Structure 1
Amino acid sequence: MNRRRFIRLSSGAFLTGLTGGCGGQSSEDNQYEIKVVSDRLQAHQLFQGNVLPLDDVINTDAIIVGGGIAGLAAAAHLGARDYHLFELSDRWGGSSSSQRHGREEFSQGAHYELAYPDYYGAEALGLLERLNVIVFDGIRRMWDFREKQYLIPQSIKSICFDRGQPREGVMPEGEERFLDFLGPYLGRMPLPTRLIEKENRRLNEMTFHEYIRTESELPEPLRRAIDYQMLDDYGSTGDQISALAGVHYYTCRPYYTQKVELFSPPQGNAYFVQKLLDVLPPEQIHLHHMVNNITVEKQGVEVEVSDFAVGRRRRIRCQNVIFAGHKLGLKYILPKLYSFFNQVSYAPWVVLNFVLRDHHRDRSFWQNEWLGKETDFLGFVDSDSQYNPNPKKRVLTAYFCLPEDQRWRLTSLEDPVESKRWASRAMILLNKMFSHPIDNLVEAIYIKAMGHAMPIPKPGYLFRDANDARLYPEIVFAGVDNGRLPLFFEALDSGISAAKLI
């Protein structure tokens, strides 16, 4: 979901017809396919891999664990070196992956990026330039996107439904004082966050709400808006995430002085995944492979890997390991290293893609934000607002972010009855945002459950980099759950930084 809705749209005419009045019941009688993808099911393969037959030892220079943005970026930086990358899933990208339905491809996670100021990290910008993703605008001092067809026009960027009633933005009227309060940090909150000056890192020691209250009280309408946006970006509310994360959200780009391009292909950030894959040797990157165990020896590292495609285990000897996978896996793979990460909090997310068999009559907006009593529901993204030269279907991608203590709710998605209840609840909420029900248009529903989708940047979390205190010099860490904000640019930089260490 998009984040920074301070700049008002020029017209209120889009409100016509979007009354939210239908709001009713979703029919249990409609027939459609529901497909569920769960990272919990994938993680449970850890307990199955150890029973596969074991092959002989092979040798390589480096092993990369995890095929998300960080792992792929690390591989891209290693270039011609001898390495192998292993990803457990059946697709690349992690939380930036996509799904297909016929000819349609759509996001099942992170789904957009914004243009980059010239003071962002040179390493990640350089990689994106080499991938032919961005180009520098010397007049505006911005790195813009090359493929302009994927930019979202300002006129259809978003609409907000506050308790079911449409309005132009998430933030309430009269937010100028809040912006003035954050003004001193404009231009001083770069990405990656490791570049943030030490004098501003004090903001990492308090919550965002606490910091705002040092200036004034937090009115309820403003608190609701801030909490929505923090939940949307960081997986929790302003009373949980750090002040640095909150300030960074609003001041990391020149939103208030110039146009910042919003880039959102139909497949979301899987677009960047494919760009990275295009420069990697296919014989060195492997899906359906799980790292079972890592053992540090005198002469290097031995890694045991299960290949589920052929039903065999392999032992691989290497000099270095870049661990770019989910750090919870260390609990089973290399327990001595897990203790550094056992205090990291993760947000559970559920993404539901509703594939409609034809196009709905309502006007489309890219982001459709929801402010209501259903605080776990953030709204949906509409594929009709994205560039697609041959659109056959319309895809509505709904996002739910659950509290940490409700992660257990995701296990129910593995039951067909419960997954249909999730789909029905989401459809009821979607119907409240359209003038006509969508029930009879649904052809298929894809559900992705991510029990540990992103690290929550609570006070004290940022800048705690496991690479600064490595128990084994041979093993380095990448990924946003290594003291980073849960953002694409951070993941990219973390992979590059880890690869440079070996």
Structure 2
Amino acid sequence: MRRPEKPLLTRRGFLRLLAAGGGLSLCAVRPSFPRTFDIPGEIHNPSPVAGHLLRGQQSWASFPSVEGKPFDAVVIGGGISGLSAAWKLERAGVDRVLLLELEEELGGNSISGVQGSEAFPWAAHYINIPPQEADCIHELLLDLGVIKGYDLQGRPEVAEECLLRWPHERLAIDGEWVEGLDPFVGVSEREMETLRLFEDDMLGWTLYRGRDGRRAFAMPLAYSTREERVRELDAITMEGYLRSRGWRSEGLDWLVDYACRDDYGGLSSQVSAWAGIHYWACRFYDHRLWDEYPPDTLTWVEGNAFLARGLADRLKPGRCRTGCLVLRVEIDGAGLLIRFIDLKNGRQHAIRSRT
């Protein structure tokens, strides 16, 4: 990684350096960094067979008639969102729930693998301790045994084994090791002042509450204030917001672009200011708030597959069907008509759901 005013290391290169951190810790102050690392890997993508079936022409007349009794609810997709929905429906007393998942394994982006005897995450691998208003997440983590209770200040008490043990981190910048993960080390005082102004601004948004008493940027999103001043941020880009504040800094631009790519897959010139600020202000990242809001992170050896399996295990037997490609959902007077193909045997199915 290089200082912001120079060409920056790519995200891939940055992750390679972090992945090799244990072995590189014994290197000299000005090491000769290897260009590549012999780290095996795989890419897990949805089946192309399913993709071609979805794209191809289907004769709905060839599908069998509706089978069995109608379900009370059908959930399409077995990632964390779908599993959470099915779990919540069951807890609410909904009797006949069915979850249909395209892949052979539940979890979506929260699946894991095994290397030897060690489990590892393929994708999503941590969550932050949810803010107080995220009552739905608290309910889930309580049921999974991650949150054990609350202290006198109402802060969650978390199972020790679920807390991330922060490693000693450092960046390789201009051929030198720099402690921590601060890409602004060694930049000009003007750049640092711009960063401080940005951090102060994000802190202000973190603490801001609208006239309705809601936080400006909450999780879940629906809990955020609907105050017009905040909603208007959705009409400009994050880049436009930075410029409106008079901030022109290569380092800050890089940092904000990185955040926008990380969460939204786009640059600050493509992401709205509302979404961009939400990245920084929805959680209590600022170190000045850590005494009141500890910035703890939850993680597991298998990553967020821990959550997926915990949710799936709490569903009644037979609730989940994997390897099912949903082709069509129709609304009619009787509720929903759902047509899907079981990819394991190629059979076509038609079922009904009330919701």
TM-score range, shorter chain: 0.7 to 0.9
Matching residue of 2:199: 179
Matching residue of 1:153: 165
Letter in 2 for 1:114: N
Deviation at 1:306, TM superposition (A): 1.1
- For residues 278 and 104 of structure 1, what CA distance do their matches in structure 2 show? 21
What whole-Å deviation, never above 9, does each CA across 1:457-484 have from its counterpart, x for those lacking one?
xxxxxxxxxxxxxxxxxxxxxxxxxxxx
- For residues 80 and 36 of structure 2, what CA distance do their matches in structure 1 show? 39
Matching residue of 2:282: 252
Matching residue of 1:302: 337
List aligned pairs for 1:303-382, cutoff 5 A.
303-320=338-355
Q: Which runs of 5+ in 2 are unaligned?
A: 1-10, 12-23, 186-191, 208-214
List aligned pairs for 1:420-439, cutoff 5 A.
none
Deviation at 1:33, TM superposition (A): 7.3
Matching residue of 1:235: 265
Does 2:317 align with 1:282? yes
- For residues 96 and 203 of structure 2, what CA distance do their matches in structure 1 show? 47
Contact 1:112 1:265 (8 Å CA) reproduced: yes
- For residues 210 and 198 of structure 1, what CA distance do their matches in structure 2 show? 21
SS in 2 for 1:283: coil
Residue of structure 2 aligned with 1:222, choices 252, 264, 279: 252
Contact 2:146 2:162 (8 Å CA) reproduced: no
When normalised by structure 2's length, the TM-score is 0.75
- For residues 280 and 249 of structure 2, what CA distance do their matches in structure 1 show? 18
Runs of 4+ in 1 over 6 A off after TM superposition: none
Matching residue of 2:138: 125
Does 2:204 align with 1:192? no
When normalised by structure 1's length, the TM-score is 0.54
Deviation at 1:234, TM superposition (A): 2.4
Residue of structure 1 aligned with 2:121, choices 99, 104, 107: 107
- For residues 171 and 229 of structure 1, what CA distance do their matches in structure 2 show? 13
- For residues 87 and 226 of structure 1, what CA distance do their matches in structure 2 show? 35
What whole-Å deviation, never above 9, does each CA across 1:44-81 have from its counterpart, x for those lacking one?
34257958985552222221111011111110111142
**Cα 1:71/1:163, change in 2 over 3 Å:** farther
**Cα 1:181/1:201, change in 2 over 3 Å:** same
Does 2:33 align with 1:22? yes
- For residues 236 and 164 of structure 1, what CA distance do their matches in structure 2 show? 29
Deviation at 1:233, TM superposition (A): 2.5
Deviation at 1:34, TM superposition (A): 6.0
Contact 1:172 1:225 (8 Å CA) reproduced: no
Q: How many residues align?
A: 301
Matching residue of 1:169: 181
Matching residue of 1:84: 98
Q: Percent identity?
A: 25
- For residues 144 and 113 of structure 1, what CA distance do their matches in structure 2 show? 15
**Cα 1:240/1:136, change in 2 over 3 Å:** farther
**Cα 1:284/1:155, change in 2 over 3 Å:** closer
Matching residue of 1:38: 45
Contact 2:151 2:157 (8 Å CA) reproduced: no
Q: Which runs of 5+ in 1 are unaligned?
A: 2-13, 321-502
Deviation at 1:197, TM superposition (A): 0.8
Letter in 2 for 1:194: A
Does 2:61 align with 1:58? no
Deviation at 1:163, TM superposition (A): 6.1
Letter in 2 for 1:186: T
**Cα 1:307/1:245, change in 2 over 3 Å:** same
Contact 1:144 1:261 (8 Å CA) reproduced: no
What whole-Å deviation, never above 9, does each CA across 1:239-275 have from its counterpart, x for those lacking one?
2222122222222222322131112212211111111
Deviation at 1:125, TM superposition (A): 1.9
**Cα 1:34/1:43, change in 2 over 3 Å:** same
Letter in 2 for 1:214: S
- For residues 309 and 264 of structure 1, what CA distance do their matches in structure 2 show? 33
Residue of structure 1 aligned with 2:235, choices 193, 198, 205: 205
**Cα 1:65/1:20, change in 2 over 3 Å:** farther
Letter in 2 for 1:310: N
Q: Which has the larger radius of gyration?
A: 2
Matching residue of 2:151: 138
- For residues 210 and 225 of structure 1, what CA distance do their matches in structure 2 show? 15
Deviation at 1:155, TM superposition (A): 4.3
Q: Which has the higher strand share?
A: 1
